[in-house]
């Protein structure tokens, strides 16, 4: 039969069950809306959590770890002799955790086409002096502009200006938790004790909040020059080299290569945040599972309605086949009905899903732990809408195909004779 005639028949049968068809379409609409909103919110949440940890973590970190010498003097003395040396309580080598020839290493890394950027860092333990009390702390000396460009440092500054670290001498930016413990604010002077036992006064030019309270209680930042002055080291002193790559997935291979080339310890981002990435994958998997379940339930609704339509329209199907409709034509009619319900409900669901996601994205979300976040995180990824559209059409087709195949096998003689 010609397609226009099949469309007319499908439209007539659809109108005959208009109420139930509308209910089925609403079921598809609700499923697609919930699917889009759920995935958009969960993906936005994952991106926000990734930003808290992964965006602040270098893809490859080069450092020197304090450890015993691989070959002890007694091994050198007895080399070649038939004996074994058993040594206990070996002390680390007497050397600073610096990276040797750091300037040359960073220059070579910057020439690597896989590298997006490099930022040096000096990490040291200190004590914050609060009256007669001392608090454990950590100071990171950073190259301010490079740190901001690669790790969005300014996004976590809740008071002051991050650039003041390099314009104001002997300045410090405290974590919000540490500042609260010391009752320190902008313009105050705090006193710290260095690992060498010297007490140094630093001016507070800013406060930052990473969203991780345990870090904010101990962490603070200074410029590279101030950190070197605290430790009494030269301008070449660097303890960490932070590397950002164009492609995050290359981090393990690059870390192994740099470890071998520069004879330093190297840690890639997958190794440093394995547990966190596992949590993100599980949350994403749960979101997709719930969304697909909603679409499957909507498909069963279409299936039930078409089954009822076939039983109630046995006479009409028998007459169609008696006047010349082939089995495949009847099958096409019911598949068209199912696709009409799915496409209409799916299209409306995509629009409502977009609207609901936009509405959620405007809701205020205030928390002291995340000062940079003002509203609920939403990810308007076009992939979610493509998946929703494909699933709505696919589930509608499958829900209509099996009842349609049953209708195509009806023997009109048996139906008419029974009547």
Q: Please report the pLDDT score of residue 277 as a whole number.
A: 61
Model pLDDT, residue 311: 66
Q: How far is CA 395 from CA 19, 293, 294, in A?
A: 20, 11, 11
Contacts of residue 274, defined as CB under 8 A and 6 or more positions apart, other chains included, come to none
State both tokens at 199: 């007490």
Q: What local confidence, expressed as pLDDT, does residue 68 receive? A: 61
State the DSSP string of 346-394: HHHHHHHHHHHHHHHHHSB---TT-TT--B------HHHHHHHHHHHHH
What pLDDT, on a 0 to 100 scale, did the predictor assign at position 289? Answer: 80
pLDDT at 17: 66
pLDDT recorded at residue 257: 92
**What confidence score (pLDDT) does residue 354 get?**
93
The beta strands (E) that lie in 147-196 are given as: 157-160, 171-175, 189-193
Give the C-alpha distances (Å, rounded to integers) separating 59 from 31, 176, 223, 252, 349: 39, 26, 22, 9, 39
Q: Name the stretches of the chain with pLDDT < 50.
A: none
- Within a 10 A sphere around the Cβ of 397, how many other Cβ atoms? 16
């Amino acid at each position: 039969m010609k397609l226009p005639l099949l469309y007319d028949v499908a439209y007539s049968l659809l109108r005959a069950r208009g109420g139930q068809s509308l209910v089925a379409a609403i079921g598809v609409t609700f499923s697609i809306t919930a699917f889009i909103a759920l995935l958009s919110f969960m993906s936005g949440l994952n991106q926000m959590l990734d930003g808290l940890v992964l965006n602040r973590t270098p893809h490859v970190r080069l450092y020197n770890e304090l450890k015993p010498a691989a070959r002890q003097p007694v091994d050198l003395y007895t080399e070649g002799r038939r004996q074994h040396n058993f040594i206990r309580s070996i002390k680390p080598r007497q050397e600073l955790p610096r990276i040797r020839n750091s300037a040359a290493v960073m220059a070579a890394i910057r020439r690597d086409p896989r590298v997006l950027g490099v930022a040096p860092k000096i990490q040291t333990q200190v004590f914050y002096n609060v009256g007669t009390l001392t608090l454990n702390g950590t100071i990171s000396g950073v190259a301010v502009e490079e740190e901001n460009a690669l790790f969005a440092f300014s996004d976590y500054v809740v008071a002051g200006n991050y650039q003041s670290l390099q314009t104001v001498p002997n300045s410090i930016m405290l974590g919000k938790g540490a500042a609260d413990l010391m009752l320190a604010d902008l313009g105050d002077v705090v006193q710290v004790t260095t690992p060498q036992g010297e007490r140094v006064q630093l001016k507070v030019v800013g406060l930052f909040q990473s969203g991780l309270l345990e870090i904010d209680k101990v962490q603070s930042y200074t410029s590279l020059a101030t950190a070197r002055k605290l430790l009494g080291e030269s301008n070449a002193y660097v303890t960490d080299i932070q590397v950002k790559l164009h492609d995050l997935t290359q981090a393990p291979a690059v870390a192994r290569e740099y470890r071998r080339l520069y004879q330093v310890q190297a840690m890639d981002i997958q190794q440093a945040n394995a547990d966190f990435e596992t949590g993100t994958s599980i949350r994403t998997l749960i979101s997709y599972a719930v969304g697909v379940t909603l679409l499957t339930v909507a498909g069963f609704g279409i299936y039930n309605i078409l089954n009822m339509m076939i039983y109630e329209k046995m006479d009409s199907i028998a007459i169609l086949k008696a006047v010349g409709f082939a089995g495949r034509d009847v099958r096409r009619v019911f598949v068209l009905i199912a696709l009409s319900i799915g496409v209409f409900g799916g299209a409306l669901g995509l629009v409502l899903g977009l609207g609901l996601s936009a509405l959620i994205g405007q809701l205020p979300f205030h928390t002291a732990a995340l000062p940079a976040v003002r509203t609920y995180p939403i990810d308007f990824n076009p992939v979610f809408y493509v998946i929703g559209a494909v699933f709505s059409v696919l589930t509608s087709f499958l829900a209509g195909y099996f009842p349609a195949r049953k209708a195509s096998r009806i023997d009109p003689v048996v139906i008419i004779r029974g009547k």
